[in-house]
Chain A
Amino acid sequence: DTEVTQTPKHLVMGMTNKKSLKCEQHMGHRAMYWYKQKAKKPPELMFVYSYEKLSINESVPSRFSPECPNSSLLNLHLHALQPEDSALYLCASSQDGIASGQETQYFGPGTRLLVL
């Protein structure tokens, strides 16, 4: 089973709202990722968690706050977003995030976020 689930599928929020995106995997993976993808562009890495510890933060603004409560769950807390943050947010997981260069990442269906 290579399933990664994400909720919600769609989210509309105002610039003063606080919301959260949720990602879950049951493949026993120990690395989880958040990507942001603008229309007609490739995904861009935001955060990496490996063994529930934040290992990479790609200089993401603090209005995005990741959380990894356990090895199966990954959240992205959103606060005071800007309209330019509107995008598809993809979650992924892989075996353990060790930089072997050969670890397949499996993606969820994404959350389409619109900030008004």
Chain B
Amino acid sequence: AQKITQTQPGMFVQEKEAVTLDCTYDTSDPSYGLFWYKQPSSGEMIFLIYQGSYDQQNATEGRYSLNFQKARKSANLVISASQLGDSAMYFCARFNGGATNKLIFGTGTLLAVQP
């Protein structure tokens, strides 16, 4: 299986500051997509942002942006102007490759936003 690595089990950030959540991945596929999901304590997995491997620009969605470095196989999520509601678990994910649509998740980073 191709692996997703999130090296930060937990992080703190002050409200209104920016925070970067790390994600690195293995792949031998030339074409792939990377996803970030947010999971609050309620349990729902909320899709945040997608980056395609051939996209020329880093993806952005409101306060979320992706720092995509293809050669280093990293896709870090940047959250700007953190809010208390951003406190949640964040998962990086990509497809496993091959003839399946199997999504593989990293171990997640628990973000706590402090007032």
Which residues of A come within 8 Å of B, CB atoms?
2, 31, 33, 41-43, 45, 48, 50, 55-56, 58, 88, 90, 92, 94, 97-110, 112
Tell me whether B50 and A97 are in contact (CB under 8 A).
Answer: no
Can you report 10 A-B residue pairs in the complex whose CB atoms are below 8 A from each other?
A: A2-B47, A42-B107, A43-B91, A55-B101, A92-B45, A97-B101, A101-B29, A101-B33, A101-B94, A110-B44
Structural contact, A106 and B47, CB atoms closer than 8 A: yes
Residues of B within 8 Å of A2, CB to CB, are 47
B residues in contact (CB < 8 Å) with A: 29, 31-33, 35, 37, 42-47, 50, 52, 91, 94-95, 97-103, 105-108
Most buried by A among B35, B45, B105: B45
Number of A-B residue pairs at CB separation under 8 A? 73
- Bound state CA distance, A55 and B98, in angstroms? 13
Which residues from chain B contact A88 at a C-beta distance below 8 Å? 43
Q: Is the Cβ of B106 less than 8 Å from the Cβ of A104?
A: no
Contact check, B101 vs A104: say whether CB atoms are below 8 A apart: no
Find chain A residues with CB under 8 A from B43 CB. Answer: 88, 90, 109-110, 112
Q: Is A101 a contact partner of B32 (Cβ separation < 8 A)? A: yes
A104-B47 contact given A42-B107, A99-B95, A109-B42, CB 8 Å threshold: yes
Contact of A42 among B33, B99, B101, B108 (CB under 8 A): B108
State A107–B36 Cα separation when bound (angstroms): 13
Question: How far apart are the CA atoms of A55 and B101 in the complex, in Å?
Answer: 9
In the bound complex, residues from chain B placing their C-beta under 8 Å from that of A104 are: 35, 47, 50
B105:A42 contact, CB within 8 angstroms: yes
Bound together, the chains give a CA A109 to CA B29 distance in angstroms of 31
Nearest CB of chain A from residue B106's CB, rounded to whole Å? 7
Q: Is the CB of A107 within 8 A of B45?
A: yes
* Pair B106/A31 contact, Cβ less than 8 Å: no
Cα-based distance from A86 to B100 in the complex (angstroms): 27
A107 to B29, CA, bound (A): 25
Q: A42-B91, A88-B43 are in contact. Are A99 and B101 (CB under 8 A)?
A: yes
